[in-house]
Structure 1
Amino acid sequence: MKKEVENEMEDELSTEYDFAQMQGGVRGKYVERYRTGTNLVLLDPDVAQAFPNDAAVNEALRLLIQIAQRQQPSTAMGRTE
């Protein structure tokens, strides 16, 4: 069964993707650069359903940050309400 899957995948590749002809490639060459500029977070399915896209998640988190920052001054000054 595994050979059938491999053959199907080979058939789907276009002829210009002949990796056997490529020389000098280094696996993971840019992985560190990618990781420093990327912050991926896996959302649980129930949370992901609440947000249609990454922009909606970012907007919700920014609002949460604003609310949290508004709460900090009153607790930082020793006031309890």
Structure 2
Amino acid sequence: MKKVAAEPYRDIDFSRAKRGAVVKPEPGKTKISIRLDNAVLDYFRSAVDEAGGGNYQTLINDALLAYIHQHSVLDALRQVVREELALPKSGRGPTRRSTGRRTSASPVN
């Protein structure tokens, strides 16, 4: 095993130093730790490389937001369809126009 030489002692003045992050986090974002499959990370990292740079974490965030928006639109559409199907039926039965077939009351040509 190779021995590493220690850095020589330096006298550093921390009297005006401030505690906290070097880069302020964006409002509305939270730093977390998450475990992802290597295939997921490889995909997003290669997508960033192909695009010529950027941040793979931002791409993952954008993909998750797109998933949420897609599902919220689908949920809204399903709710509209449910409400339309639940509307009370008029007193008439199916019409020739709605079924594409003649009803017993339709004249025969």
TM-score (norm 2): 0.38
Larger radius of gyration: 2
TM-score (norm 1): 0.46
Higher RCO (CA < 8 A, seq sep 6+): 2
User: Greater share of helix residues, 1 or 2?
Assistant: 1
